[in-house]
Amino acid sequence: MTVSAEQEIISAEEHDDDQMEKAEWLSFKLAGLDYAVDILRVQEIRVWQASTRIPYSPAYVNGLINLRGAIVPIVDLRMRLGLDYREYDEETVTLIMDVEFPEGAKTIGIVVDAISEVIQTNADNSQLSADFDLTIDQAFVSGIADVGEKMIILLNVDTLLRLDI
């Protein structure tokens, strides 16, 4: 094998490693701050629709919707994170998410103020949330991404959407 062929293989391996470390996140606004969830967990983005309230459910559980025959709980992410309530408007959307639980995957919707963009993160532009003093529960946060001129809080949907905590 020639030196240049070896260099090409090493370069391709480094490129594969870089690609594997990158992740895509769907960013959104919530109370004027930027948050994001793993885009691979997002099934769909829906305009906000009224849900059926569940008696005795936690305040952050907005209710249930029928999504093509499946009953899906809807969580108001502002309330889940302890943020101030805001009336829903034309920019309010529901993200239908795949969430992993010990007993298996479930579908849960989260209401957010507005969708922003898809971002890419890697080890160079994200840090663990333990490095920051956040006002939300650290268990809900995967990290903080520095994207352009803004910091985006990367949410861990598996802990965030566990309805028993």
Quick check: is 33 in a domain?
no
Total domains in the chain come to: 1
Quick check: is 123 in a domain?
yes
Quick check: is 91 in a domain?
yes
Quick check: is 15 in a domain?
no
Q: How far apart are CA 59 and CA 63, in angstroms?
A: 10
Quick check: is 145 in a domain?
yes
Instruction: Report pLDDT digits (tens) over 40-96.
Output: 999 999 998 899 999 999 989 999 999 999 999 999 999 998 888 889 999 999 999
The pLDDT of residue 149: 85
Separation in Å, CA 69 to CA 65, 102, 116, 160, 161: 9, 24, 29, 25, 21
Rounded to two decimals, the pTM is 0.79
Instruction: State the residue range of the domain holding 101.
Output: 42-160
Instruction: Report pLDDT digits (tens) over 87-140.
Output: 999 999 999 999 998 889 999 999 999 999 999 987 555 555 455 555 677 778
Quick check: is 11 in a domain?
no
Q: How far apart are CA 155 and CA 64, in angstroms?
A: 22
What CATH number corresponds to the domain at position 93?
2.40.50.180
